[in-house]
Structure 1
């Protein structure tokens, strides 16, 4: 492995939080904004570990709230870099909630965030290549370029006809 490469799992982060009354809405469920904040924090830590520097959030893919997270639940957020590009990194995260007395775990969310490595002055800087190790990491790594191209198209930073990886999904074989 060269100096400019890191294994995907080297930057993995697990963060645990307990849902307290000030984290909830009027139904005693975790507020979506609080969960997104926690996801941004754990994703940033994973990205910072990967690039060994400062990062800023560049984009957040769809976050769907599959199951509510209730007051008193223990929330576990897991994040790791799936792929790095020139200055950016895609970070995948999964969220589970646990009802502690019942020992019941609930899968609640998953999402992809994009972070950009920056210098102390705020200029983008190059990042190490992310090398997948497990089959799951390889699948996420393989799809990252298509997800990136879709993000760039939706952000008006790429023309659809230039998204060759994404277009390949729709061509007749």
Structure 2
């Protein structure tokens, strides 16, 4: 069994000009790629297996991330099936000079754990042992269902 808090990953990507569109903000495809990579890390940390993306529930882009700011990405596992792993992902725009952050993007990805032959394999049970973990899980379950 793996606790939700053990799956929590936070990472930053500096938005460079080569990541930007003609408006000089992060291209949505780059943000999605970064989120997918961090989400897969969270799923693999949880399962101890290689994980592949199976489904993106939705991708909500709320505001842009300008060149020079960082994309601060948070991911954690909030629910599991037999071989599937649900991960909530939130990206924030962060100004490193002021440490100001604001949410820019939210999504819910589903990964599948696979074995050495690329066949889906069983994942452990998810536990939630802290109040913070319970709160994060509740937020994810409500958000996944559109109850934000």
Verify same fold: TM over 0.5: yes
User: Which residue of 26, 32, 37 corresponds with 2:28?
Assistant: 32
Partner in structure 1 of residue 135 of structure 2: 136
Q: 1:137 to 1:30 in 2, by over 3 A?
A: same
Q: Tell me, which stretches of 5 or more residues in structure 2 are unaligned? A: none
Q: Which is richer in strand?
A: 2
TM-score of the superposition, structure 1-length normalised? 0.76
Instruction: Using the TM superposition, give the Cα deviation of residue 143 of structure 1 relative to its aligned residue in structure 2, in angstroms.
Output: 5.1
Instruction: Using the TM superposition, give the Cα deviation of residue 17 of structure 1 relative to its aligned residue in structure 2, in angstroms.
Output: 0.8
TM-score of the superposition, structure 2-length normalised? 0.88
After TM superposition, what 4+ stretches of structure 1 lie above 3 angstroms from structure 2?
Answer: 140-144
User: Which residue of 26, 43, 55 corresponds with 1:59?
Assistant: 55
What is the CA–CA distance in structure 2 between the aligned matches of 1:142 and 1:107, rounded to whole Å? 18
Q: Tell me, which stretches of 5 or more residues in structure 1 are unaligned? A: 148-173
Bigger drift between 126-135 and 77-86 goes to 126-135
**CA shift digits 1:4-31 (9 cap, x unpaired):** x211111111111100010000110100
Per the alignment, in what secondary structure is the counterpart of residue 61 of structure 1? strand
| Root mean square deviation of aligned Cα | 1.8
Partner in structure 2 of residue 46 of structure 1: 42
> How many residues are matched?
142
